[in-house]
Amino acid sequence: MELILKARDLKGGYTLQSPLQRSAQASQEYIDAVSNVSMELYRDEVFGIAGESGCGKSTLIKILYGYINPPLTLKQGSVELYAEEEKPIDISSLGLEERQRRVWWKRISYIPQASMNILNPTMRIRDHFAEMFKIHMGMGKEKAYPKAQEYAESMGLPRDALRAFPHQLSGGMRQRTVIAMAVLLKPELVLADEPSSALDVITQRTALTFLKDVQRGLGNTLVLVTHDMGIQAVLTDRVAIMYAGKIIEIGETAGIFEKPLHPYTQALIDSLPRLGDKSQRTGLGGQPPDLSRPPAGCRFHPRCAHAMDACNREEPQLLEKGDGRHVACWLYA
């Protein structure tokens, strides 16, 4: 499998002003959203990132893309993009302008979360596409519009949709537009953050199938962030489970679903309904930790049924367990 991206020891989060305004010096709080995350992505795969709300998946995606606006800061770590002939590019060290010019949309693209209001209300769909061609590929108006038309047709978007303004399209159609937009310049990597959460279940299926077809057609890498384990099961080849800013398990999707190792993963998968199994679904008690003051040792230990002494003293590292599976848990150390 060919490497396309390598993230090393990423540590990033949000610096907020403390809500106590009456103090003379406002103190700063740091929310440790992504803590020591390392991962590798390969070509032509669908890689899932799963976990509950607030676990850091969206922040991780933003860091991978290099979309780091205050109050988000990257404290440490590097993200390297591996190209075919050249040396790997360290995205995290590039300035914003260079990132925009060299990397964004051409090599990596990004589908942000909650994409309902994401298109310019005063621009038609074909204007959106043409704009990208004009700016990124320097095309003039006369070439950009026909190309936009051609592209939309190749993506299976109907003629009427092109002429329309965003508010005239249904949610599903808008999402397909956003997906088509993401692969406009044929990037090698697409980061999709909850691409279907704003849609109803039926439309979700259409949008996600579209996404998967696009990936298969282009043979690029798709990173799919979603808390919905059902989607992970169906669409991804490999999946990483995140909890409280850390990756706690990573491996081939089929394997993880069949035999989850980390207690948190087990709880996640146990909560899914199964055909034929009529027993009551159990949830996990407790809450995810406050990331401005994360617990010592393993961040999951306060909720873990198998917690041991070691768990609240030292953080477990991600260790290989064979078959590409990695787990960060003292049970398997």
Partner 1 sequence: MAPKISKHLIKYIGVRTVIYLATIFSGVTITFFLVKAMPVNAIENILFSITQVGQVYDPEALILLRKTLYEIFGVGGNPLESYVLFLRRVFTFDFGPSIISYPTPARELVFRRLPWTISLLSVSTLISWIVGNLLGVLAGYLRDRKFAKVLEAVAITLYPMPYYIMALILLIFFAVIIPIFPLGGGISVIVESLTLEVILNMIWHSLLPALSLILIGALGWSFLSSRTLTLETLTEDYISYAEVRGLPGNHVLRRYILRNILVPQMTVLGLGLGGIFSGALLTEVLFAYPGVGGLLYYAIFSGDLNTLMAVVFTAMIAVATATYLLDLLYPLIDPRVRYR
Query: Which spans of this chain sit near partner 1 (rule: CB under 8 A)?
Result: 65, 67, 100-101, 104-105, 109-110, 112, 114-124, 131-132, 135-136, 164-165, 167-168, 181
Residue number, 76 or 168, with CB nearest to partner 1: 168
Sort 307 into a burial class: Cβ within 10 Å, 0-12 / 13-18 / 19+.
middle
Write down the least CB distance from residue 114 to partner 1, Å.
7
Backbone angles phi, psi at 52, to 5 degrees: -75, 175
Write down the least CB distance from residue 27 to partner 1, Å.
23
Write down the least CB distance from residue 181 to partner 1, Å.
8
Residue number, 26 or 114, with CB nearest to partner 1: 114
Residue number, 112 or 302, with CB nearest to partner 1: 112
Handedness of CA 120, 125, 131, 132 (dihedral sign): positive
Residue number, 136 or 143, with CB nearest to partner 1: 136
DSSP string covering 168-208, please? Answer: GS-HHHHHHHHHHHHTTT--SEEEEESTTTTS-HHHHHHHH
Write down the least CB distance from residue 163 to partner 1, Å.
9
DSSP string covering 231-253, please? Answer: HHHHH-SEEEEEETTEEEEEEEH
Write down the least CB distance from residue 105 to partner 1, Å.
5
Residue number, 96 or 272, with CB nearest to partner 1: 96
Instruction: Report whether 323 contacts 255 (CB < 8 A).
Output: yes
How far apart CA 198 and CA 18 sit, in angstroms, is 32
One-letter identity of residue 208: L
Residue number, 67 or 332, with CB nearest to partner 1: 67
Write down the least CB distance from residue 257 to partner 1, Å.
32
Edge-to-edge strand list for the sheet holding 238-243:
108-111, 189-193, 221-225, 46-50, 238-243, 246-252, 326-327, 319-320
Residue number, 46 or 61, with CB nearest to partner 1: 61
Looking at beta carbons, which pairs linking 305-314 to residues 24 or more positions away fall under 8 Å?
305/263, 306/263, 306/331
How far apart CA 202 and CA 171 sit, in angstroms, is 11
DSSP summary character for residue 104: B
Write down the least CB distance from residue 133 to partner 1, Å.
12
